[in-house]
Structure formats: C-alpha cells, structure tokens
C-alpha cells in the first residue's frame, strides 16, 4: 500500500516519525515534502509552484491519503483557523480522484465527514486500520 501523509508544515517532524512507523508495517510513503529543502530566499514563487506540483504527483502515486488534523481543543472555532494549509487542498484533490482518506484526530473540516473519509483517533489506531485494510 502507498500512502501520502498530508499535515500542517509545522508537523513535518511528527509526520516523518509517522512515515517511519508506516514503513515498518510495509507501507510505502509517497510524501516527498517530508524531505524537501527549505524555501530559498530567491525564486520563492518558482519553488512553491514546483513543490505544489510535486505534492500532487505524490498524492497521485498514493493509494490512500492520511491527513493529520489539528486538535480543535487548541483553537477557537474560527473559519480562518480551519483553512490553514495545503493539506486541505491535497485532501480535496485526493477526494476528487476517488482515493480513500483517513483523518487522524479531530475532523477539523466539514469535508472530513464525507462517506469515503475514515476517522481514527490517533496514530496507533491508524496503524491498526492500515494493517487490516486492503486498498486496490
């Protein structure tokens, strides 16, 4: 199984740890953003555009998208707090492609209540779920 991990950029190290755990159970992680270089001081627009295309290629290469959600208990429920990153675009892209989505933690977006979105409480539950499910 191939998985793309979508997460807030500030959770990059946490996502890398999760990628290691997934690889230990035989899952291939397609998220190259976990190893991408820092944004350059010059040519940022080009870097961002190229990075976005790479991320979408990585979503295309995955069987399942796993999104690490925000802990809603840490935020006021203000719409601007809900739309804080690329991970939501990536999840929407995966949804449009018909890919299963697994939301880890709080469903911090109304679209994570859609039928092909599975919600798990934490990473341990995610590992159990991915170990048991077959994706084609």
Q: Which residue has the tokens 């959770």?
A: 11
- Starting from the edge strand earliest in sequence, which strands make up the sheet with 101-104, in order? 28-29, 2-7, 64-68, 101-104, 117-120
pLDDT surpasses 80 at 19: yes
Q: Residue 39: what pLDDT?
A: 83
Please state the domain extents for the chain: 2-132
Residues 14, 29: Cα–Cα separation, whole Å? 14
Q: Give residue 9's pLDDT band: very low, low, confident or very high (50, 70, 90).
A: confident
User: pTM here?
Assistant: 0.86
Taking each continuous run of H as one helix and of E as one strand, the counts in the chain are 5, 5
By C-alpha distance, which of 13, 135, 112 is closest to 5?
13
Q: Mean pLDDT, the chain, as a whole number? A: 88
Over the stretch 85-116, which tens digit does the pLDDT of each residue have? 789 899 999 999 999 999 999 888 889 999 88
Q: Which CATH number fits domain 2-132: 3.40.47.10, 3.40.50.450, 3.40.50.720, 3.40.50.300?
A: 3.40.50.450
């Amino acid at each position: 199984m191939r998985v793309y991990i979508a997460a807030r950029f500030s959770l990059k190290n946490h996502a890398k740890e999760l990628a290691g755990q997934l690889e230990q159970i035989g899952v291939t992680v397609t998220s190259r953003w976990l190893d991408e270089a820092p944004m350059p001081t010059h040519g940022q627009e080009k870097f961002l555009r190229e990075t976005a295309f790479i991320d979408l290629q990585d979503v295309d290469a995955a069987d399942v998208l796993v999104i690490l959600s925000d802990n809603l208990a840490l935020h006021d429920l203000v719409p601007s707090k809900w739309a804080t990153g690329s991970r939501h675009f990536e999840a929407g892209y995966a949804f449009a492609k018909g890919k299963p989505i697994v939301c880890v933690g709080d469903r911090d977006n109304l679209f994570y209540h859609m039928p092909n979105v599975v919600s798990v409480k934490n990473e341990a539950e995610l590992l159990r779920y991915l170990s048991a499910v077959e994706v084609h």
